[in-house]
Structure formats: structure tokens, C-alpha cells
């Protein structure tokens, strides 16, 4: 999956580390990230590449191995021709994959910083904590930490069949699985049961935890489950969110282009594991 970057090591711990010439600087404008062309490849710029074009301060984000990533802010609009803007959705396709993980994780933090410049209680400008990754209001003292929304994803099985869905809207057209955010007061298991029933009308039993994935595209942490159909297998879709839902036999998975076989996402990993269990 995207976050599984071994043997490289992701180090998210807060630090007051100062930027150096070879450190990577991530610069975002809306849903795009700044890249620079070097030797025919589009890569993230280093500090020495952009130091003349950005504000004097940069903010440390995280490291992968010994490569430090910082958040930068442009002070000019006109950049040299070697710079371009890349849609953040293309982090899914970035090679090497660990750089795509770094990019979307940086975008997650960038969006949080941007959304919390002012205190939600008293409207004062927030200060950056010097002890941890947090924003502190100098007036009322409220502390804001990075927003991570818990969500679930469920591979519902019915013998040799798996329940697949496609959501309305958006650019992703391949099969996915039932997923949704956890409500306040819910357990992960309760959220799984509720989301499956709300979206497809199917009741489930025998929930089995599979694994989790940080999914910065939606600012969430996904918990993946397997579950078995309980009772009626007739699908009644929630046509507000769901455009398509169906039971698909495992034998259709290898040759069907609507299945993502990259292993990039939790849905892909769940579907591959379902297929493996029936064929090994």
C-alpha cells in the first residue's frame, strides 16, 4: 500500500530542525504541488532550488530516512520555466511510490495549517507551538492538533462473491468497497455495520480486522475489515452516494480492469486478500 515504503523509514516526529540546502521543500497552491524538471524527470524541489522564490521561513514536516521535508510558501508568482504544477491526485502514480506518500502526507499537513490559521473560538491568529506539532491561540489558549478523521472500509463476502461499489461523482471509476467515516460515539465495528447497511441494505456478521492505512487524500485513517453477509443478499443502494453495487465472483477479479490490482490502496489490498484466500 502507499504508506508501506520499507526499507525506507517514515519519521513523523515533530522537530525544530532548520532547513538545509538539500532538504525537500513542498509548496502547494490549491490542489497542486510545485515540481522542478531535472534530467528529464519531474521531482520535488530542494531548498536551494526555490530559496530565491519563497518566503524566508519554512516549516519542518517529517523525514523519510535522512531526507527532510519542509513546507514552503511562494513570494512570487512568475517562476522559471523548469518549474511546473502537478495535481496532487497524481501522487497515486508517482515513481518511486514513497515520494508520492511523502507528497500527499505533506499536503495533508499543509491543508491543516491553512485551515487553522485563526482560532475557531475567538478568531485570533494562531501561534505555532515550539514543543509539539500544534497550533495554540495566544488569547483563549485553545490547542489544535493535526486533524485525522477515523474511517472504515469493509470487504463484505457472500461465499465466493464480494460486494463491490462505485461512488457517484469524483474521478475514480474502478470498483471500490463500502467505506465511510466513523461518527462520534461509534466503535469502528458499529460504523462498519452502519455504513454497509446504509449504502447497500446488507446486514453483516463476523467482522474481522484486516489492517489500516493512513489516507491523506481524505485526511483520514482507514481501518479495513472483512465481514460476512447476514440474511438477505438483495442489494438496495443508497442512490445519494452510491452509483453502483453488485456481488462479484472471485473468478472475475484477474481479468476485470475495473479491479485495482496495484495494491496501492486499502481497497485493493482487501480485494487481493479475498482472492488469495479462495485460491491458495
Judged by DSSP in three states, 74 sits in strand
The domain that contains 23 carries what CATH number? 3.90.79
Chain centroid offset of residue 236 CA: 29
CA pair distance 119, 103, nearest whole angstrom: 27
Order the strands of the 127-128 sheet from edge to edge. Answer: 127-128, 135-136, 143-144
- Tell me, yes or no, whether 226 and 195 share the same domain: yes
Structural domain span for residue 195: 149-279
- Tell me, yes or no, whether 205 and 273 share the same domain: yes
> What local confidence, expressed as pLDDT, does residue 174 receive?
86
- Global confidence as pTM: 0.91
Domain count, the chain: 3
pLDDT of the chain, 280 residues: tens digit per residue: 999 999 999 999 999 999 999 999 999 999 999 999 888 888 999 999 999 999 878 999 999 999 999 999 998 878 888 999 999 988 988 889 999 999 999 999 999 999 999 999 999 999 999 999 999 999 999 999 999 999 999 999 999 999 999 988 766 778 999 999 999 999 999 999 999 999 999 999 999 999 999 999 999 999 999 999 999 999 999 888 898 999 999 999 998 888 887 888 999 999 999 999 999 8
Give yes or no for a contact between 103 and 67, defined as CB atoms under 8 angstroms apart.
no
> What local confidence, expressed as pLDDT, does residue 192 receive?
98
> What local confidence, expressed as pLDDT, does residue 38 receive?
87
- The H-or-E segment that residue 186 falls in is none
> What local confidence, expressed as pLDDT, does residue 73 receive?
92
- Tell me, yes or no, whether 39 and 83 share the same domain: yes
Q: Where are the beta strands (DSSP E) in 8-125?
A: 10-11, 24-26, 28-29, 32-38, 41-43, 59-64, 67-71, 83-87
Residue 179 C-alpha cell reads as 467505506
- Tell me, yes or no, whether 109 and 166 share the same domain: no
- Tell me, yes or no, whether 21 and 100 share the same domain: yes
- Tell me, yes or no, whether 54 and 153 share the same domain: no
Amino acid at each position: 500500500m502507499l504508506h508501506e515504503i520499507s526499507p525506507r523509514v517514515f519519521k513523523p516526529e515533530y522537530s525544530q530542525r532548520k532547513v538545509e540546502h538539500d532538504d525537500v521543500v513542498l509548496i502547494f497552491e490549491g490542489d497542486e504541488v510545485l515540481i522542478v524538471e531535472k534530467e528529464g524527470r519531474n521531482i520535488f524541489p530542494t531548498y536551494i532550488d526555490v530559496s530565491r522564490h519563497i518566503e524566508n521561513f519554512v516549516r519542518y514536516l517529517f523525514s523519510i530516512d535522512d531526507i527532510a521535508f519542509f513546507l514552503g510558501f511562494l513570494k512570487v508568482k512568475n517562476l522559471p520555466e523548469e518549474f511546473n504544477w502537478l495535481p496532487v491526485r497524481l501522487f497515486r502514480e508517482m515513481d518511486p511510490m514513497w515520494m508520492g506518500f511523502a507528497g500527499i502526507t505533506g499536503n495533508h499537513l499543509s491543508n491543516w495549517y491553512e485551515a487553522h490559521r485563526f482560532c475557531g473560538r475567538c478568531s485570533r491568529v494562531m501561534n505555532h507551538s515550539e514543543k509539539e506539532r500544534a497550533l495554540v491561540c495566544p488569547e483563549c489558549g485553545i490547542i489544535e492538533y493535526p486533524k485525522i478523521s477515523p474511517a472504515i472500509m469493509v470487504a463484505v463476502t457472500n461465499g465466493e462473491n464480494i460486494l463491490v461499489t462505485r461512488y457517484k461523482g469524483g474521478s475514480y471509476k474502478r470498483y471500490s468497497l463500502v467505506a465511510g467515516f466513523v461518527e462520534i460515539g461509534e466503535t469502528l465495528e458499529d460504523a462498519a455495520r452502519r455504513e454497509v447497511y446504509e449504502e447497500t441494505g446488507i446486514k453483516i456478521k463476523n467482522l474481522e480486522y484486516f489492517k489500516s492505512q493512513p489516507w491523506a487524500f481524505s485526511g483520514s485513517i482507514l481501518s479495513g475489515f472483512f465481514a460476512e453477509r447476514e440474511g438477505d443478499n438483495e442489494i438496495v443502494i443508497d442512490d445519494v452516494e452510491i452509483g453502483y453495487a453488485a456481488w462479484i465472483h472471485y473468478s472475475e477479479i484477474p481479468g476485470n480492469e475495473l479491479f485495482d490490482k496495484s495494491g496501492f490502496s486499502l481497497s485493493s489490498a482487501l480485494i487481493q486478500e479475498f482472492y488469495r484466500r479462495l485460491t491458495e
